[in-house]
Amino acid sequence: MSNLVYNEMLKIVRKKRLSVIAAIVAVLVVLFTYAQYKQVQEIQERLGTTDWRTQLQQQIIDAQNRLNSSSISEEWRKYLHIRLQQQQYYLEHDINPSAPGAPTFMRMFIENAIDLFLPLLMMVIAADLVSSEASIGTI
């Protein structure tokens, strides 16, 4: 069984498609990093301050206002409640949630990539493997 898995992994690694996908992911990491940097700058310009506590307090107020709205679905209400608790925790424990660094980047990258991008890449790789196996005649 392990030889079968090893053989399939070699098929995936030896093809140029894997390096293309790795390059796409690398470009996206750079784009997400730049977007995060610009987002922090935009918030600082909009609020006119670099104090992250003020920004976080404004986000908490916005979330509370949204929770008080009657037009929000129950699922969105649960999400906002969890988000509100996280923001209050950050404020109480003096944690800057938007501080540039690896934890913030990974949190934002995973939030944005896990829903759509990674499943799409997996489907493309799987479809490519199946089509190449079918064209070679080894399926």
Q: Where are the domains of the chain?
A: 1-48+115-139, 50-100
The three-point CA angle 117-87-47 to 5° equals 90
- With a cut of 80, say whether residue 116 has pLDDT above it: no
Which amino acid, 10?
A: L
Phi, psi (rounded to 5 degrees) for 25:
-65, -40
Residue keyed to tokens 């709205």: 69
Q: Which pLDDT belongs to residue 139?
A: 67
Against a cut of 0.85, is the pTM above it? no
Handedness of CA 68, 69, 75, 81 (dihedral sign): negative
Instruction: Give the mean pLDDT of the chain.
Output: 81
In tens, the pLDDT along 66-88 reads 888 878 888 888 988 999 999 99
Average pLDDT estimate for 3-11: 83
- With a cut of 70, say whether residue 15 has pLDDT above it: yes
